[in-house]
Amino acid sequence: MFTDLLCAALTAAGLAIAFATAYRRRFRAAVRTAAVALLPLGLALSGLVTLGRRVGTAAADWGADLILKPTVWTGFAILACSALLFGAGRLFAGRGGRAARQEAEAAAPRAAAVPGGSAPALGSGREPAVSRRRGSGSGSGARSGGTSEFAEIEEILKRRGI
């Protein structure tokens, strides 16, 4: 009740200032002043002032509990441990995942390359660049003679891990 009365008084004072500004022919400033003056009454009638007061009171109570209660500090310690465990799990999962992938690639038998086959039939995703070069020759003579050269290049790249 008192909050509504205070907000109504603030709105009335703001509107009085807006009318005085408009009387001096400063209409843009008067409109802006009236817009700001209507805010307190609108907030009070919509219940947002009461909501703000409740949120402020809850935040103040939580702050007092933060300082005075050891259970709140224990809760923060548990949250910190959880964050550390999550980060450590992500760190070790990244390392193990990479090693497991490399081990699986080494153990998996390679698919036999079919002459004239498409790039996906060749195996890993790194080889299409080589297969594109293979198909870029002109005529069938370049394909048959160049196949052994590209096989050697593929072998060198595999040994270097590229």
- The domain limits of the chain are 2-68, 69-108, 112-160
pTM given for the model: 0.41
The predicted-structure confidence for 98-131, as pLDDT tens digits, reads as follows: 666 666 666 665 544 555 555 555 555 554 554 4
| Average pLDDT estimate for 16-35 | 93
49 near 3, Cβ under 8 Å?
Answer: yes
Which residue, 113, 115, 133, is CA-closest to 123?
Answer: 113
The predicted-structure confidence for 60-91, as pLDDT tens digits, reads as follows: 998 898 888 888 889 999 999 999 999 888 88
Which residue type, as a one-letter code, is found at position 153? Answer: I
Supply the DSSP string of 83-131, one letter for each residue.
Answer: HHHHHHHHHHHHHHHHHHHHHHHHHSPPPPPPTT--GGGGSSTTSHHHH
